[in-house]
Amino acid sequence: MEPIHRIFVGFRCNNRCVFCAQGELSSESPEVDARLGERLAAVGPGARVAFLGGEPTLHAELPAWISEAKQRGAREITVQTNGRRLSEAGYARILVASGTSRFEVALQGSTAAMHDFHTRQAGSFAETGSGIRRARGEGAAVFVTTVVTRSNYRHVSEIVDLVRSLGAERSAFRLAVAQGRAARGGDPPVVPPLTLVKPYLSRALARARQSGFSCTVMTTAAAEAGDSEWLGLGPVAGV
């Protein structure tokens, strides 16, 4: 399968996740990435395209960017998002009508308290859940990704159950890494030891298999390489 043509739109985001690898780059960078037009122009017939940030849905130009990629012949278009704006009536429909075929939505907990702790935005859990349902209601595929931290690793099985109940097609997990905001440590620390996490991830994978649900665990190397099952995070602070 050919690699994904990734279009980074900029660092602007409406979450401030405790593990964000981009750190505070949004305060130092233009709102729209300077190379966005160049990357769009490089899209050709049959391309697999992904828009990522930051948070792509905060840009009013996103539907037009998606339409341009479609007009240039993209056969598959993914938007990587925290899902919050998808909860707005009609917004998911606009993106699907523009050419989006898949959303990769970030969900960081099985409860509002858990998810909102990670995003540092009250109410984001409800908006993300609603956004997933609305996207599925428009016929788009939805993959859900979760960054595994010291504060949610014990609940990865419950996250799988929630993802299934929301109607998404698959769940993917990736361990938090000490980059950006996660590099600061904090109380509690963000990055969990792998030895603590592995039994919980194993149970979550087994639980998914038993129910016929698709669930994967991504390695850091695959994530950084832009593996086809994980679109990558865009530029990373300090890299």
Whole-model pTM above 0.95? no
Residue 27, judged by CB atoms within 10 A of its CB (0-12, 13-18, 19+), counts as exposed
Alpha-carbon distance 124 to 113, whole Å?
10
Question: Coil, strand, or helix at residue 93?
Answer: helix
Pair 217, 172: CB distance under 8 Å? yes
Pair 40, 17: CB distance under 8 Å? no
H or E element that contains 63:
helix 62-71
H or E element that contains 130:
helix 124-137
Place of tokens 């401030």: 16
Closest CA to 91 of 56, 68, 57: 57
Q: Report residue 202 as tokens.
A: 């194993």
Pairing of strands 48-52, 170-175: unpaired
Number of DSSP helices (H) and strands (E) in the chain, helices first: 8, 7
H or E element that contains 218:
strand 214-218
The pLDDT assigned to 236 comes to 47
H or E element that contains 216:
strand 214-218
Tens of pLDDT along the chain (239 residues) come to 567 899 999 989 999 999 887 666 665 556 787 889 999 999 999 999 999 999 999 999 999 999 999 999 999 999 999 999 999 999 999 999 999 999 999 999 999 999 999 999 999 999 999 999 999 999 999 999 999 999 999 999 999 999 999 999 999 999 988 777 667 666 668 889 999 999 999 999 999 999 999 999 986 544 444 444 555 555 544 43
The amino acid at 116 = D
Give residues with Cβ within 8 angstroms of 197, minimum separation 6: 148, 153, 175
Pair 17, 117: CB distance under 8 Å? no
- All domains of the chain in start order, with CATH: 5-224 (3.20.20.70)
